[in-house]
């Protein structure tokens, strides 16, 4: 299983006048966590993009279970779920320090050639690494 954890702290500009962290920020947090997972397997996203690959989000299904608040530390856990053709799917969790799940999401990105905008298979090295991780689950 390929999984990674990052800790983020909710910033003041992430809050809204409801006093909650604005819900759109989860997609940013999950993106940051996703590329930390890629960094952990030696494939930083910046390198992929230099190799003419982008990985835009094509699907996101998000459940907002509890609000997050200013200055709170949040643990983001990202797990690779599947690799199908050009699509890579992750499951994402956001937890507070007490271990309560604040948010959970499934996020799918597609491999796209930066120059052409067309979907493509992931680079072989990424396929190998990702398949190895999925098979070990």
Residue 113 found at the interface with its own copies (CB under 8 A): no
Element (H, E) at 47: helix 45-50
Q: Cα 121 from chain centroid?
A: 19
Applying the rule CB under 8 A, the residues between 44 and 73 that interact with its own copies are 44-46, 49, 54, 56-65, 67, 70-71
Q: Is residue 44 within 8 Å of 38, Cβ to Cβ? A: yes
Residue 41 found at the interface with its own copies (CB under 8 A): no
Residue (of 132, 112, 106, 129) closest to 34 by Cα position = 106
Closest separation in Å from C-beta 136 to its own copies: 28
Residue 35 found at the interface with its own copies (CB under 8 A): yes
- Give the binding site for its own copies (CB under 8 A): 11-13, 15-20, 22-25, 27-28, 31-32, 35, 44-46, 49, 54, 56-65, 67, 70-71, 114, 117
């Amino acid at each position: 299983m390929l999984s990674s954890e990052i800790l983020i702290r909710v910033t003041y500009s992430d809050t809204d006048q409801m006093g909650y962290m604005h819900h759109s920020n989860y997609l940013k947090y999950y993106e940051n966590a996703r590329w930390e997972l890629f960094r952990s397997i030696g494939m930083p996203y910046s390198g992929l993009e230099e190799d003419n690959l982008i990985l835009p989000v094509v699907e996101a299904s998000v459940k907002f279970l509890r609000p997050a608040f200013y200055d709170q530390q949040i643990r983001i856990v990202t797990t690779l779920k599947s690799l199908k053709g050009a699509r890579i799917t992750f499951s994402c969790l956001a937890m507070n320090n007490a271990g309560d799940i604040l948010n959970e999401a499934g996020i799918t990105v597609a491999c796209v050639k930066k120059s052409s905008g067309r979907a493509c298979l992931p680079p072989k090295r990424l396929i190998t690494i990702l398949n190895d991780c999925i098979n070990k689950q």
